[in-house]
Amino acid sequence: MAYLDTSALVPLVIQEPASLALEGWFDRSAREGEDFVISDWCLTEFASVIGIKLRSRHLDAPKAQRARALMKSIAQDVFRIVPPRGADFTRAAEYLDQTSLGLRAGDALHLAIAVGAEAGPVVTLDKTMLRAARRLGLDAINPRG
């Protein structure tokens, strides 16, 4: 069961440079029978991305609305959604205590949720998160290579 963080989720919904690579990975993984999981935290971050893109005029209101609707649809139909638990926040804080990992709070929470859900691989486009996940002994991939 692959855990997608927000950096991997957004290009599946909004056309970005990484979209082709993510779509190819996603299609191959689905054909191979992979299940996919995201967290409620992904949905919060996704809403933030949409807001940022609107404010910076990288998306207009109709495109933002379509992206929200598509995200809602695939979240319900494609992904298993797991909520962050108290233990996930504790684990994320432990990861943040390891300052050499270079994690930000949101990324530490993604990793902790993936561990708590017993999901893997962690799928991310974030190089720091990818490196940290591997240093923590997690299976992690970047579909862009």
Encoded tokens for 4: 């997608």
- Give the closest residue to 144 by CA, choosing from 26, 61, 14, 51: 26
CATH number at residue 47: 3.40.50.1010
Model pLDDT for residues 56-104, shown as the tens digit of each residue: 999 999 999 999 999 999 999 999 999 999 999 999 999 999 999 999 9
Count of domains for the chain = 1
Residue 140 pLDDT > 90: yes
What is the rounded average pLDDT of the residues 39-65? 96
**What is the rounded average pLDDT for all residues in the chain?**
96
**Residue 121, preceding peptide bond in cis (omega within 30° of 0):** yes
What is the rounded average pLDDT of the residues 15-42? 95
Strand partners, 140: 122
What is the rounded average pLDDT of the residues 16-22? 94
> b/e per residue, 86-106, with b = 16+ CB within 10 A?
eebeebbeebbeeeebebeeb
Angstrom CA distances, 75 to 72, 109, 138, 140, stand at 5, 19, 24, 21
**Domain encompassing residue 136:** 2-141
Residue 120 pLDDT > 90: no
